[in-house]
Each structure stands twice: as structure tokens, then as C-alpha cells.
Amino acid sequence: MKFSAREDISGPIEQVFDALCDFEAFERLAMRRGAELQRVDSIAQPGVGMQWRVKYRMRGRKREFDLALIEFDRPNQMVFDAKSSGIEAKFSVDLLALSRSRTRMAVALDMTPLNLSARLLIQSLKLAKSNLSKRFKDRVADYCKGLGERLQRTA
């Protein structure tokens, strides 16, 4: 099952990519939303090999997955791999410079079930795909709008 969104951001591609590399901010955001994150690597600079163990509650059940940064092409692309007991997912962020001060961000999430219970979960998500796709696109749009505003304030 795949979700994707594309948004334009007011900011140069290098600044947008640097903001996306602020992994500590993403960790704080996830913790504010109730997730437990643990960094499991010792890499100092953003790059391939960064890994996290994530635990969160969803629909009354405790869930966990391992997240790893598997591709890092500054300032064009980052690809993350997420694995849980039943689902494998790839999350990619692609940036394209439209001009010196505009950047297009394309975000994609592709989930694959690994067992029967995960297949049933994905199937139930497919029934609500239009609603979930809209929520995904709205979240990406809100993030991009906020990022563009932050970049404009610091410029």
C-alpha cells in the first residue's frame, strides 16, 4: 500500500534539506505525540546507518518498529526503511529545486505486509485509503507550510 504527497516549499533546496536533517527535532516531535524513541547507532553526522527503535500505542496496542536511514543523497533524497514484526515500509523524501528560492518535496510511504495479520491490517487500511491519503497529504502540506515559514523567518 502506498501513500504519496508533493508540496512546494518557500526556501532553497540546501536549507530545506538541512531542516529535514534535524533528526533531534523529529525525535522531540514524536515523543510529544507519545512515542518512545531510542537511537541505536553512534553516528555523529546525518547519513546512512542512522537507526532508531520506536515504540508507540495505536488503537490500544503497543507497537514497535526499527527505523534506519538507508539512502542519503545531499541535498536530493533520503530513504528510510522501517521494519516491524509484520510490516516492512520504505519512506522516501525527494527534493527538487524549482528555483533559487523554491523547492518541491515529494514524500512517499510504501508498506508491505509480511504475515497474515499484517495483510489483514493493510487490507483494512485499503478500505479507508481515500481518507488516509487525504490525512497524509494534509500532514505533509502542514509540515511544508511550517517549514517554509521557519525558513522565511531565518532568512
* pLDDT tens digits for range 114-132: 999 899 989 999 999 999 9
Which pTM was predicted? Answer: 0.91
* pLDDT tens digits for range 56-109: 987 788 889 999 999 999 999 999 999 998 999 999 999 999 999 999 999 999
> Is residue 108 a contact partner of residue 1, using CB atoms and an 8 Å limit?
no
Rounded distance between C-alpha atoms, residue 49 and residue 70, angstroms? 6
Q: State the pLDDT at residue 21.
A: 95
Q: State the pLDDT at residue 61.
A: 83
CATH 3.30.530.20 fits 2-154, yes or no: yes
In this structure, what are the phi and psi dihedrals at residue 77, rounded to the nearest 5 degrees? -155, 145
Rounded distance between C-alpha atoms, residue 43 and residue 8, angstroms? 31
Whether the pLDDT of residue 144 is over 80: the answer is yes
Confidence band of 44 (pLDDT split at 50, 70, 90): confident
Q: Which residue has the higher pLDDT, 155 or 3?
A: 3
* pLDDT tens digits for range 9-32: 999 999 999 999 999 999 998 999
